[in-house]
Amino acid sequence: MSQSNIFKKIINFFKRLLPKRDKNQLIHIMVDDKIVGTVRTVCIKKTNNINEATLYRVVFDKNQIKSAFYNGMVSEKTQHKPLQILIGDDDCNFKLNNCWIETKSPVYMTEDYHILDNIEIEYEDYKSKK
């Protein structure tokens, strides 16, 4: 198998990991009111009065993350702006504010995306619309 065929298979594998955009359940990561990524699943928990959440199947747009991470690398050490996690449709049913990365899984990079299996975040507060 040639290198180009192997590369195409790897790209197709990563594309399958991208969260599907289901209109009923959108989960976006935002910085400065701009969408910089998307998430498949969020698990929210509160332990010892600390607001924490785990984001699963996270995909960042490589060109958009530069506004939140130094050197365009997704890491708890390079994050310099807080993230907002929006869960819901255009009216935004639920929002986690001022999120900071605590730990993350390894980053897989493609030409346009940074893909992570999971990220542990700490958030300041949340807002909900009914």
Q: What is the pLDDT of residue 24?
A: 46
* Domains detected in the chain: 3-128 (2.40.30)
pLDDT of residue 67: 83
Helix%, strand%, coil% for the chain, nearest 5: 15, 50, 30
Asked whether the beta carbons of 39 and 17 are under 8 A apart, the reply is no
Is 82 or 90 the better-scoring residue by pLDDT? 82
- The pLDDT value recorded for residue 49 is 80
